[in-house]
Amino acid sequence: MNKERLKPEHPMEALLRMDRMPHIWCPTCGIGTAVSCFITALEKIDYPLDKVVVVSGIGCTGRVAGYVKLDSFHTTHGRPIPFATGLKLGNPELKVVVFSGDGDIVAIGGNHFIHAARRNIDITVICVNNFNYAMTGGQVAPTTPLTALATTSPYGCFETPFSIPYLADSCGAVYVARWTALHIRRLTKSMVEALNKPGFSVVEVICPCSTLYARRNKLGTGLDLMKFYHESSVIKHGADTRELDIEFQKPMVVGKFVDRERPTFLESWNAQMKKALGEKFQPYGGSNEHD
């Protein structure tokens, strides 16, 4: 018998595409940590993982779909939410997660984001916010704090940024939370809650972009930035989402802000059609009967 003991495996390897490691993210980037939290969250939800799908758009975070060992789609820039909408409505048994960046979700995909929230499509959006477009070299984003430097705002950002939780809340999302990548346990817990919540749930993850945002703004390493975000953030569950603006290198509010009940798109469809059509209506959802 071979005397060499079997090497133990990293416990997350079962849910990662190890044949694609190392991933493309820079040293001290927080996206990997957000993925690590997501993997832990997946293990904590009581749902068959064969039925969990991850959809990403384009950008650094857009690569998440390529690293998780689930059915996964790397789509076009800004459009993972409508793709996910099609998937979810195509087979309501699926648990569909959109994992993408701030540029993808609230800039080019902003229109899709607000309408999916309004309709309460039953998907979870995990939006990694690193305050800039990193994959293309650090351009200004709709989340870049005022005065922060980016390659396309070389004299400082002067456009008011979006607050993702406020946007999500005002458009009707049923679950909204914000954590930094370093709030590992709390972030994981929010991901679990979001995944378990029927309807449109949003988890914003504040992540350091070490190579571009940190360097350009002379904020030290990614580690320094991670520390700053974590140490200067104030946990305030249930905070009024109008007060969640992020100012450049100032304390920010994190926590779980919204957790409410609203019928999902499919619940509303079934209810309205039943009401209007009675016995003639062919209910939709549940088992995938269109094989």
Q: Give, as ranges, the residues between 70 and 129 that touch other proteins (CB under 8 A).
A: 70-76, 78-79, 81-91, 93-94, 111-112, 115
For Cα atoms 168, 56, 80, give the angle at the middle one, nearest 5 degrees.
60
* Beta carbon of residue 54, minimum distance to other proteins (angstroms, whole number): 9
> Could you tell me how many residues of this chain bind other proteins (CB under 8 A)?
78
| Cβ proximity of 89 and 267 under 8 Å | no
DSSP code for 22: S
| Cβ proximity of 181 and 207 under 8 Å | yes
| Cβ proximity of 96 and 84 under 8 Å | yes
Residue 66 burial (C-beta neighbours within 10 Å; 0-12, 13-18, 19+): middle
Contact with other proteins (CB under 8 A): which of 45, 69, 136, 249? 69
How far apart CA 128 and CA 31 sit, in angstroms, is 7
How far apart CA 49 and CA 43 sit, in angstroms, is 9
Binding flag, residue 284, other proteins (CB under 8 A):
yes
How far apart CA 114 and CA 162 sit, in angstroms, is 12
How far apart CA 204 and CA 125 sit, in angstroms, is 8
Binding flag, residue 289, other proteins (CB under 8 A):
yes
Calculate the CA 208 to chain-centre distance. Answer: 15
Q: Which is nearer to other proteins, 50 or 261 (CB)?
A: 50
| Cβ proximity of 113 and 105 under 8 Å | yes
Binding flag, residue 173, other proteins (CB under 8 A):
no
* Beta carbon of residue 104, minimum distance to other proteins (angstroms, whole number): 13
Q: Which is nearer to other proteins, 41 or 157 (CB)?
A: 41
DSSP code for 145: P
Q: Which is nearer to other proteins, 82 or 239 (CB)?
A: 82
Site for other proteins in 13-32 (CB under 8 A): 13, 16-17, 19-23, 25-32
Q: Which is nearer to other proteins, 115 or 236 (CB)?
A: 115
Site for other proteins in 219-258 (CB under 8 A): 222-223, 226-227
Site for other proteins in 28-67 (CB under 8 A): 28-33, 35-37, 40, 50-51, 53, 55, 65-66
Binding flag, residue 134, other proteins (CB under 8 A):
no
Q: Which is nearer to other proteins, 112 or 244 (CB)?
A: 112
Q: Taking contact as CB under 8 A, which single stretch among the options 133-141, 169-177, 179-187, 241-249 is the one that binds other proteins?
A: 179-187
